[in-house]
Amino acid sequence: AQRVTQPEKLLSVFKGAPVELKCNYSYSGSPELFWYVQYSRQRLQLLLRHISRESIKGFTADLNKGETSFHLKKPFAQEEDSAMYYCALSGGSNYKLTFGKGTLLTVNP
């Protein structure tokens, strides 16, 4: 079974502060991990894929297989980063995507 845990439902930081959204996963095989972002009442958008090791909108995420984590980080938060963030895992031949429960990030001015 595959499971994704996002321990923080809410995270509030001030503009310019560093931000880290935590994600831990459970999967017996080799997972593919993603971060999705949902701005207020909009559709989910793919933010990052671990396989591409890219930085989008200043966010990065590193897969740590030893700690089974895929935390999302940004050194200097901006107000426009305020959104719901979902960590997701895909694994196996059926390509099902399993989501965590999400973390609502609020960046205060």
Partner 1 sequence: NAGVTQTPKFQVLKTGQSMTLQCAQDMNHEYMSWYRQDPGMGLRLIHYSVGAGITDQGEVPNGYNVSRSTTEDFPLRLLSAAPSQTSVYFCASSYSGDTYGYTFGSGTRLTVV
17 binds partner 1 (CB under 8 A): no
Q: How far apart are CA 82 and CA 97, in angstroms?
A: 24
Q: How far apart are CA 86 and CA 69, in angstroms?
A: 14
Amino acid sitting at position 43: R
Q: 106 with 10: CB under 8 angstroms?
A: yes
Q: Which of 23, 81, 83, 100 binds partner 1 (CB under 8 A)?
A: 100
Q: Which of 11, 49, 69, 106 binds partner 1 (CB under 8 A)?
A: 49
15 binds partner 1 (CB under 8 A): no
Contact segment (CB under 8 A) with partner 1 among 19-27, 36-44, 59-67, 75-83 equals 36-44
Phi-psi label, residue 93: left if phi above 0, alpha if psi -120 to 50, beta otherwise: alpha
Binding residues for partner 1, per CB under 8 A? 6, 9, 32, 34, 36, 42-46, 49, 51, 86, 88, 90-91, 94-102
